[in-house]
Amino acid sequence: MQIENNKLIDDLLRRMESCKRIVKEFESLPINKLQFKKGERWSALECLEHLNLYGDFYLVEIEKRIITNPRKNVSTKFKSGILGNYFANLMEVKDGKITKMKSPKDKNPSRSPLSITTISRFLKQQERLVTLLNQCRSIDLSKTRAAISLTNLIKLRLGDTLRFYCYHIERHVLQAQRALEEQGQMIRELERRQLGHG
């Protein structure tokens, strides 16, 4: 994949804007709805906390790469790496289908009860990310390398790290939205049955 920096960043910003809009609406929902779990599946808040744990790593990593970047001979065209492209594509949601994936233990959010502040932290991370994405417009996104959270054995091209990270956010925001929708359907179904009996 080859693309102008600005085009890549604009695309990622659009995706993040839509994620922000979705999560903003969560703020007005009752807490028990946000915490609702169907079996082992994550609640809406758990999806967001999972993203916050990733953000703790990626926001710091991306910022570090921007700050320490030598700004000379900058190409503003980004060419994806083989491995980076593979990881990013793995994360991207295609045709609205979320493929199941196992998440690393340290990124598992189901340890502590989550509160409304999880949303607030998520939105603050998003603000930070938007600033960082805009700073990335004038950086060589192919030559600059950044670590990934899965392993410290490899580094990806910064452009691929950005794609991987943003697609990952999109994936779990969609998952959170679905968790809430499914719950709505279950409640409607229960109401329908109760009416039937009455």
Partner 1 sequence: MTSEQLFIKRLLDAADAKGISKIFSKGEYLIKEGQVEQSIYFIEAGAVRVFHVTEFEEQTIRFGYEGSIITSLSSFITGKASEFYIEALRKSTVKIIQKQLLLEIVNESTETLRQYNKLLEGLIIQQMEREIDLLTESPAKRLQRVLARSPNLFQEIPLKYIASYLRMTPETLSRIRNS
We find the least distance from the C-beta atom of residue 132 to partner 1, in angstroms, to be: 11
Instruction: Output the CA–CA distances (angstroms, integers) from residue 100 to 41, 85, 129, 148, 172, in the order listed.
Output: 11, 19, 26, 20, 11
Residue ranges that bind partner 1, judged by CB under 8 A: 27, 55-56, 59, 113, 115-117, 120-121, 124-125, 127-128
* 3-class SS shares of the chain: helix, strand, coil, % to 5: 65, 5, 30
Within 8 A by CB and 6+ apart from 6, the residues are 76, 137
User: 52 or 161: whose CB is closer to partner 1?
Assistant: 52
Q: How far is the CB of 113 from partner 1 (least distance, A)?
A: 8
Annotate 22-36 with b (16+ C-beta within 10 A) or e (fewer): ebeebeeeeeebbbb
* Residue 26 or 87 having the CB closest to partner 1: 26
How many Cα atoms within 13 Å fall on the side-chain side of residue 121? 18
- Cβ of residue 167: shortest distance to partner 1, in angstroms? 20
Pick between residue 14 and residue 124 the one whose CB is nearest to partner 1.
124
* Complex with partner 1: residue 127 or 191, whichever CB lies closer: 127
Closer residue to partner 1, CB minimum distance, 59 or 88: 59
The CB-of-73 to partner 1 minimum distance in angstroms stands at 32
CB of 124 to partner 1, least distance (A): 5
H or E stretch including 57? helix 44-67
Between CA 183 and CA 186 the distance in angstroms is 5
By C-beta, is 25 or 191 nearer to partner 1? 25
DSSP 97: B
What is residue 42's DSSP assignment?
A: P
Least Cβ distance, residue 27 to partner 1 (angstroms): 8
